[in-house]
Amino acid sequence: MLRINVIIPLLVLNFFRDVTAFDDIQCRIWCYSQPAVQTADGCLCGMKMDGLEAGPFDAFVGVPFAKPPVGALRFANPIPIDPWEGPLNVTTTKPMCIQKYDIFPLASVRGQEDCLYLNVYRPKKCRKKKLPVMVYIHGGGYIGESADPRVIGPEKFMDTRKVILVSLQYRLGPFGFLSSDDCSAPGNFGLKDQSMALRWVQRNIESFGGDRRRVTVFGHSAGGAAVQFHMMSPLSEGLFSKAISQSGSALSFWSKQYPDQLGLVRKLAVAAEVEGAVRMNSRELIKALRKVDAAKLLLSVDKLKFWHNQPIILFRPVVEKHVDDETFLREDPRELWATGRYQKIPWMTGYLPDDGIAVLLSIFTDLLEPFIANQQELLPLLADVPPSSGPALLERFFGGNPIGPENAFALTEVMSEVGFKYPMMESILQHLINDPQSESPVSLYYLNFKGRYSCSTMLPIFTGPDSGACHAEELMYLFRQPIQYLDFPKDSPEAAMSRLLVNEWINFATKGKLSLPQRGGSERPSQQIGMVEFTNSDGPSGVTTIHRGFEDAKIAELWNLLRWWNVVRVQ
């Protein structure tokens, strides 16, 4: 006969199993004909969305994962959402996080502070076997964009029926990245929002049919840099098993913090007309800034720029000086990455020919003439190099000639190299040195595809007539973006490129690598990297992949630019 100390735990265990089963049944009853999922926080009633080619799928849009960061929670670490009673209808897109997206000319304030929501999409006929999970972090220079399904549309991933897709929102600009360099406002709130969303995924994704042990986090631009930060953060350790950084690096100059964070906070308070700001300590400054109207606070950031909208990104990830259990980044990320102190997992990164256009739109549209007039001062500032390196920039990119209207498009290549290719190759080199045996392989891709909506086709003045894809163009192939572009015809090269990229991204999420042969046997770690190029072809589909080995001229070009910028940045 079983002893009482064995029977009681079994009864308790069965009781909680019954409670969980009852909650799940009750949730299905509440949601009726809607897709229903009982999470650890409560019942979610979703909706059905139409795919492009493979029928409908389940969508749970606007799922809260943290308390609204308003009032006393502005400039504070995120707090998990409280459980709720009854069903929660998650069928409506939530507003974007409040932002003034200065990458674009004439940017205005949009969104709201109450914005910490995520979206979950799953195939309609989910197999009994748990599916891999892909979590997308949007880009936008830490100051803009959102997880809106009209821009980050899940249809192309859902058509494959192979993965569960999650997209999330996080605080931006000063709301997400202001820091007082102490416990008053330690900083990195936007990155901590992302980390909390990843913990939500670990806690809940199996209720959607996902495998929490097979989570791939991927992001574009600042989202790609954030992925690399998560690989280094103790707060995100163990929350994902694979990582993809698309055209974005934590080692880029635009991800590097400004030295005097408290001084920046004080300047913002003065610009926002906080009375007595010059005499306040950090605690008083943060308390006062929490009371400033959100739109006024964002508009006040404009007063801190040294030239028109430059620098576009003022509030960035920081090394937190106040360290506790909620600290995201404790040491210089460059030091962490160089010494191999990050998660050793399969990692993919890549770039596009004209990534640099991301920071030049306003200059090309409104400010080219004053930039040309002040190029001696502004070019080194824009490229984040010492003033003494100005002549070297002119020689390499402009043939030794001054910048004028006829050659200004070469600014795109300047920014593509220093802002994207250089930090990407620096990251790859250090990763290969830290992991010479390829225990955590790195995959490199190059999207060199010119489609009907490519900016080099539509706006050649920005890039030069012979250029290829511009920054963020891969997103139109990975995601449906109905408020920006018409759907591609099914038999078009663009549709073929969509299918190719989505399947390659899913292949990486499943196997940890692209369709690329293993690295070669060279004894030099810096040479042991291959690349997959996605490009146009004359074949029936209009697209192809080119596998480039470590001896390929394109790979050599990338290593050469790494060496060149290493010299120019310290002159």
Whole-angstrom distance, CA of residue 361 vs CA of residue 420: 16
In this prediction, residue 266 carries a pLDDT of: 98
302 lies in some domain: yes
Q: Is 62 helix (H, G, I), strand (E, B) or coil?
A: strand
Model's pTM, two decimal places?
A: 0.94
Which residue blocks in 464-523 are alpha helix, DSSP H?
A: 474-478, 493-511
Q: Do 500 and 549 share a domain, yes or no? A: yes
Q: Percent helix, strand and coil across the chain, each rounded to 5? A: 40, 15, 45
Q: Is 351 helix (H, G, I), strand (E, B) or coil?
A: strand
17 lies in some domain: no
Contact status, residue 470 vs residue 451, Cβ threshold 8 Å: no
Positive or negative, the CA dihedral 368, 374, 378, 380 is positive
Whole-angstrom distance, CA of residue 420 vs CA of residue 353: 10
Q: Do 551 and 438 share a domain, yes or no? A: yes
Confidence band for 459, pLDDT divided at 50, 70 and 90: low
Q: What is the DSSP letter of 419?
A: I
In this prediction, residue 462 carries a pLDDT of: 57
pLDDT at 11 over 50: no
Q: Do 329 and 353 share a domain, yes or no? A: no
In this prediction, residue 521 carries a pLDDT of: 44
Q: Do 325 and 378 share a domain, yes or no? A: no
Confidence band for 379, pLDDT divided at 50, 70 and 90: very high
- Compute the average pLDDT of residues 27-41: 96
48 lies in some domain: no
**What distances in angstroms separate CA 294 from CA 114, 178, 310, one per listed residue?**
11, 13, 21
Least confident of 92-101, 394-403, 499-508, 538-547: 538-547
Q: pLDDT (tens digit, 9 = 90+) per residue, 74-83?
A: 999 999 999 9
390-398 helix and 553-568 helix, angle to the nearest 10 degrees: 160
Q: pLDDT (tens digit, 9 = 90+) per residue, 406-444?
A: 999 899 999 999 999 999 999 999 999 887 766 678 899
243 lies in some domain: yes
70 lies in some domain: yes
551 lies in some domain: yes
pLDDT at 520 over 60: no
Q: Which of 494, 219, 472 is nearest to 353 (CA)?
A: 472
Higher model confidence: residue 281 or residue 306?
281
**What distances in angstroms separate CA 547 from CA 148, 245, 474, 516, one per listed residue?**
34, 20, 19, 7
202 exposed, middle or buried (CB, 10 Å; 0-12, 13-18, 19+)? middle
Q: pLDDT (tens digit, 9 = 90+) per residue, 317-331?
A: 999 999 999 999 999
In this prediction, residue 519 carries a pLDDT of: 47
Q: What is the DSSP letter of 145?
A: -
Task: Domain count for the chain, please give it.
Answer: 2
Which domain-ending residue is among 308, 338, 368? 338
Which domain-ending residue is among 338, 358, 390? 338
In this prediction, residue 376 carries a pLDDT of: 95
Q: Do 261 and 364 share a domain, yes or no? A: no
Q: Do 290 and 371 share a domain, yes or no? A: no
Q: pLDDT (tens digit, 9 = 90+) per residue, 120-131?
A: 999 986 667 899
Q: Do 161 and 310 share a domain, yes or no? A: yes
Whole-angstrom distance, CA of residue 341 vs CA of residue 218: 20
- Compute the average pLDDT of residues 263-273: 98
Whole-angstrom distance, CA of residue 446 vs CA of residue 441: 17
32 lies in some domain: no
In this prediction, residue 466 carries a pLDDT of: 60
Q: pLDDT (tens digit, 9 = 90+) per residue, 494-518?
A: 999 999 999 999 999 999 988 765 4
In this prediction, residue 32 carries a pLDDT of: 94
Whole-angstrom distance, CA of residue 430 vs CA of residue 468: 28
pLDDT at 109 over 90: yes
Q: Do 357 and 299 share a domain, yes or no? A: no
In this prediction, residue 227 carries a pLDDT of: 98
pLDDT at 14 over 70: no
In this prediction, residue 105 carries a pLDDT of: 82
Cβ partners under 8 Å of residue 570, min gap 6: 386
pLDDT, mean over the chain: 91
pLDDT at 16 over 50: no
Whole domain around residue 473: which residue ranges? 348-513+529-569
In this prediction, residue 569 carries a pLDDT of: 87
Angle value at C-alpha 147, between 141 and 148, nearest 5 degrees: 125
Q: Do 309 and 370 share a domain, yes or no? A: no
Q: pLDDT (tens digit, 9 = 90+) per residue, 190-214?
A: 999 999 999 999 999 999 999 999 9
Peptide bond preceding 311: is omega within 30 degrees of 0, i.e. cis? yes
Confidence band for 364, pLDDT divided at 50, 70 and 90: confident
Q: pLDDT (tens digit, 9 = 90+) per residue, 151-190?
A: 999 999 999 999 999 999 999 999 999 999 999 999 999 9
pLDDT at 445 over 80: yes
Q: Is 460 helix (H, G, I), strand (E, B) or coil?
A: helix
Element (H, E) at 545: strand 543-548
Q: Which of 347, 89, 371, 40 is nearest to 208 (CA)?
A: 40
- Compute the average pLDDT of residues 462-480: 82
Q: Do 303 and 163 share a domain, yes or no? A: yes
Cβ partners under 8 Å of residue 206, min gap 6: 130, 212
pLDDT at 19 over 50: no
> Which CATH number characterizes residue 249's domain?
3.40.50.1820
- Compute the average pLDDT of residues 264-284: 97
Q: Do 334 and 354 share a domain, yes or no? A: no
Contact status, residue 112 vs residue 99, Cβ threshold 8 Å: no
Which domain-ending residue is among 288, 307, 338? 338
pLDDT at 1 over 80: no
7 lies in some domain: no
Q: Do 166 and 231 share a domain, yes or no? A: yes
Whole-angstrom distance, CA of residue 316 vs CA of residue 249: 13
